[in-house]
Structure 1
Amino acid sequence: MKITDVSIVPVLLSGGSGTRLWPLSRKSYPKQFAPLLGDLTLFQQAALRFAPDASQAGASPAFSAPLVVTGSDFRFIVVEQLAELGIDPGAVIIEPEGRNTAPAILTAAFYLMARDPDAIMLVAPSDHAIPDALAFREAVGRGLPAVEKGRIVTFGITPDRAETGYGYVELGARPAASEGPVDLVRFVEKPDSARAEAMCASGNFLWNAGIFLARAADMVEAFRLHAPDVVDPVAEALKKATADLGFLRLAPEEYARVPSISVDYAVMEKADNLAVVPFSAGWSDLGGWDAVWREQGADADGVALTGPAEAIGCTDTLLRAESDAQVLVGIGLDNIVAVAMPDAVLVAPKDRAQDVKLAVELLKKRGRAQAETLPRDYRPWGWYETLVLGPRFQVKRIVVHPGAALSLQSHHHRAEHWIVVEGTAKVTIDDTTQLVTENQSVYIPLGAVHRMENPGKVPMVLIEVQTGTYLGEDDIIRYEDVYARGQGAKG
């Protein structure tokens, strides 16, 4: 069988925190799951990039269902966002904790190799922007002859500016736009401005996209040669992995012994069997708000607007508002990024976009919840957000997906009052079950065992009023849960 006839398995890495796009992207809900550019999330765009539609049927190369590596908190988000596209994941592997890219990639390689010794994997971060998906698929096809020879292929982006925020790869020859793989000489760390200018002028340097194409077996062998300390604990974590509903949960004790290291440091900077496919049809890792401004497309004055935002006399500026309940207005701004969330606002010069991580570090030191969590908390059954919070009360809006159900639970410290404002709720309180429709309410006493479900075919929305001495999310005792989350705030 020719290697060009084999289906490639997209491996979507979906565990990053994306703090450089704070306040939109946070640890609780990172940028890959947000509709940052357009109506689809970055994760959904990455999945569609390798899911052929009718117009691509029979095109080469062919792709199979994606394998997703993500964290426990995001497992249901991954499945839900794929389901919205009609894509069934091949597998979703849950990391007990983030250990950087090398362990995640090796885990995927071991998993695929065990099922098919000739499996080919395309490792792709799920938070990048590649506007021309077909052009990138064609670039992947150009890398297959090198993969057939046992090489690991990476993708280098033709620079259109002397960027200091990216790493680079040096090529053995100056590439042509339509060429196949070119020999890779070395990786270059993020340069200063002068070095970046010189590298771009030479024509022998491309941006390092961090996307890799290889046989799973060749990827495993590269780790055995160059990062043997990663191999055994990853293999053990996968060997002792447990099935969790439709997910595969890696063994936590074994995975905790895996070194936290990037695949570049662990393998790619040491390997001598690498090749680079040049790609010039557009790419961004969206590593800062300046990159979002660039990719979003600005008007004639360089102004990019998202949401209820208005600009008066502004130039080279990004204004983004995420709530319909507020309007962001910029007057006379130049080279500014302003991002307004319901609970936090960022204002900074565009050329200091990379310093946003300093704001996150500061807020964490101050103990501010905004450093890592969004007002809206996503759960496998839907989501909720706090509308009002006082010393002994809290008001929430809760949205439950059709057919979904919260866990059967009780609380030690709070009582709850539920008012249905859209749809119908099926409510269980101790031994009683009843339907609660729009404009009806029900009271759940402190300590009562209760559950809410949405038996309908449209989202159910209710307002929850909590009263008590402690209102934290960890005051939950679960007795039954269709999502097998265990105890704790999220399980």
Structure 2
Amino acid sequence: MSGETRIVPVILSGGAGTRLWPASREAHPKQFLPLLGDRSTFEDTLTRVSDRSVFAEPMVVTGEDFRFLVADQLTRAGVAGRIVLEPMRRDSGPAIAVAAELLRQKDPDAVMLVLAADHLVTDPQAFTATAAAGLDAAQAGALVTFGIRPTQPATGYGYVRPGATMDGRVNMVAAFVEKPDAETATRFLAEGYLWNSGNFLFRADVFLGELKRFEPEIAAAAAKVATAIARDEAGGISFERIDRELFAASPAKSVDYAVMERTDRAAVIAADYAWSDLGSWNALWEISPKDADGNAARGAVSLIGARNVFVVSEEVHTAVIGLEDIAVVATKDAVLVARRDVAGDLKTLVGDLRADETTRRLADEHRKVLRPWGSYEGVDRGTRFQVKRIVVKPGARLSLQKHFHRSEHWVVVTGTATVEIDGVEKLVRENESVYIPLGAWHRLTNHGRIDLELIEVQSGSYLGEDDIVRSQDDYKRV
């Protein structure tokens, strides 16, 4: 690695991940889920770039709705970093452009490593070595993509054809190729093509210069956005907000179409580690440990006469008998049974669910809904009542709020709650309850050192989440 330069990881983590429904949903997408172990792929990505002799602290570009998820998982991974909030999705090109402008403000010679938050890399040391090996080429002005040596003739990935040797392990890109059919993919495997991983290493100023050549509107919007970043704090966490109007002026386009497939500066470094973009249930099956019949399972699962199936079961016991080449994913409120190789149809399914008011929630939220202060989960519901299980993290508190259409009972199960009702505070301990009348201003705080758990019983004419009026809120949702 050249001199004292440290690579700045820029982690893109604003996607929805609909091809992994029902586990991945709009409000809690796949990059924040523990799909293959105890940690999410976002946490794994943070850990992968934690060697401070090679990498600087990361910048995470994400959506407004994911800001507290990102902050929580940064803390859990023990990593400090900048959190930049997109007001809307404009694909990867504009997001990377804004990140490049922000990095260039601080360091005109900044080298950035663009990573997706939802990819799997099995060998972090090999990943670090690959990034370090590509640094000289990036500093010399190349836009380096990481190419993965194919293990099979996959039709779900784009490919890169390496050209002339540029610097050590780095080659110029002779061609980018879209996803091929099976016959073409087999030929690519024999001819030394590489999978295009979508990870990039380049100088911020060089990328912006090429962007200005090919997509001047994106470049101009990014330059304006970077000078108008709003910095604020919510829940003790600092965020950098992108201006909505300025960002909306940028055309939505992927970095591949905007720059990489058009520039003559594109280069590729062959990566010597296993990689997956986890873009489908089939991809997860491929990389999961399997039994003698090719089955991969997580959770409470029974298999009889099944072959090459992938089963995930969150709570219920799921049995698969005499079936082959399918995926079964059972969450608390939805079950998917499909051919393992189905991916595009899942996007169609999620779109259909979202278009129907009766099923929209299944497309967007899990039964357990995360909030910056903790979570809540529906337990039961009737015509004029609803029961929830609420968990409040240590030191956290809900907003000061009231409801026009419902009253509430809170029963503490674990911990001690400080409850404020119309300006009067009281402590509510385990097995004690408190009543919040309709229209009363109320707030709940966990001053303890363990999670506060309670059962909430709502009663009233309307029980929607939008029946909340907030007066004060630590997370600026007023």
TM-score bracket for this pair, using the shorter chain length: over 0.9
In structure 2, the residue matched to 1:220 is 208
1:196 counterpart = 2:192:
no
Q: CA deviation at 1:9?
A: 1.0
1:344 counterpart = 2:334:
yes
Number of residue pairs the alignment of both structures matches: 472
Contact 1:288 1:354 in 2 (8 A): no
1:116-127 equivalence runs, <5 A: 116-127=107-118
Query: How far apart, in 1, do the equivalents of 2:394 and 2:149 lie?
Result: 46
Moved over 4 A (4+): none
Q: CA deviation at 1:281?
A: 1.5
The alignment's TM-score, normalised by the length of structure 2, stands at 0.96
Query: How far apart, in 2, do the equivalents of 1:215 and 1:433 lie?
Result: 55
In structure 1, the residue matched to 2:197 is 209
Query: How far apart, in 2, do the equivalents of 1:354 and 1:64 lie?
Result: 37
CA deviations over 1:188-235 (Å, ceiling 9, x no partner): 1111222212212211x1111000101111121121111111012222
- Structure 2: which amino acid aligns with 1:345? V
1:482 counterpart = 2:474:
yes
1:164 counterpart = 2:158:
no
Runs of at least 5 residues in structure 1 that lack an aligned partner in the other structure: 487-491
1:22-171 equivalence runs, <5 A: 22-52=21-51, 58=53, 62-89=54-81, 91-171=82-162
Q: CA deviation at 1:386?
A: 0.8
SS in 2 for 1:307: strand
Query: How far apart, in 2, do the equivalents of 1:441 and 1:384 lie?
Result: 18
Same amino acid, percent of matched pairs = 47
SS in 2 for 1:271: coil
Q: CA deviation at 1:352?
A: 2.4
Q: CA deviation at 1:7?
A: 1.2
Q: CA deviation at 1:179?
A: 5.3
In structure 2, the residue matched to 1:489 is none
In structure 2, the residue matched to 1:335 is 325
Q: CA deviation at 1:361?
A: 2.1
Q: CA deviation at 1:24?
A: 0.2
- Structure 2: which amino acid aligns with 1:161? Q
Q: CA deviation at 1:119?
A: 1.1
Q: 1:291 aligns with which of 283, 290, 306?
A: 283
SS in 1 for 2:275: coil
Contact 1:244 1:484 in 2 (8 A): no
Query: How far apart, in 2, do the equivalents of 1:216 and 1:238 lie?
Result: 13
Q: CA deviation at 1:280?
A: 3.2
SS in 2 for 1:208: strand
Q: CA deviation at 1:366?
A: 2.9
In structure 1, the residue matched to 2:356 is 366
In structure 2, the residue matched to 1:279 is 271
Query: How far apart, in 1, do the equivalents of 2:333 and 2:415 lie?
Result: 28
SS in 1 for 2:341: helix
Contact 2:280 2:342 in 1 (8 A): no
CA deviations over 1:350-384 (Å, ceiling 9, x no partner): 13244322221222233312122211111110111
SS in 2 for 1:463: strand
Q: CA deviation at 1:482?
A: 1.0
In structure 1, the residue matched to 2:390 is 398
1:379 counterpart = 2:371:
yes
CA deviations over 1:262-290 (Å, ceiling 9, x no partner): 00011111111111000131000000000
SS in 1 for 2:134: helix
SS in 2 for 1:266: helix
Query: How far apart, in 2, do the equivalents of 1:385 and 1:132 lie?
Result: 36
Q: CA deviation at 1:173?
A: 5.0
CA deviations over 1:18-40 (Å, ceiling 9, x no partner): 00000000111100000001110
* Cα distance change on mapping 1:307 and 1:7 into 2, 3 Å: same
- Structure 1: which amino acid aligns with 2:179? K
CA deviations over 1:120-154 (Å, ceiling 9, x no partner): 11000000000101101101111011012111111
- Structure 2: which amino acid aligns with 1:237? V
Query: How far apart, in 2, do the equivalents of 1:322 and 1:222 lie?
Result: 47
Contact 2:280 2:341 in 1 (8 A): no
Contact 1:242 1:250 in 2 (8 A): yes
Query: How far apart, in 1, do the equivalents of 2:157 and 2:231 lie?
Result: 38
Q: CA deviation at 1:322?
A: 1.5
SS in 2 for 1:261: coil
- Structure 1: which amino acid aligns with 2:47? L
SS in 1 for 2:133: helix
Q: CA deviation at 1:391?
A: 2.3
* Cα distance change on mapping 1:173 and 1:315 into 2, 3 Å: farther
SS in 1 for 2:276: coil
* Cα distance change on mapping 1:4 and 1:152 into 2, 3 Å: farther
- Structure 2: which amino acid aligns with 1:453? T
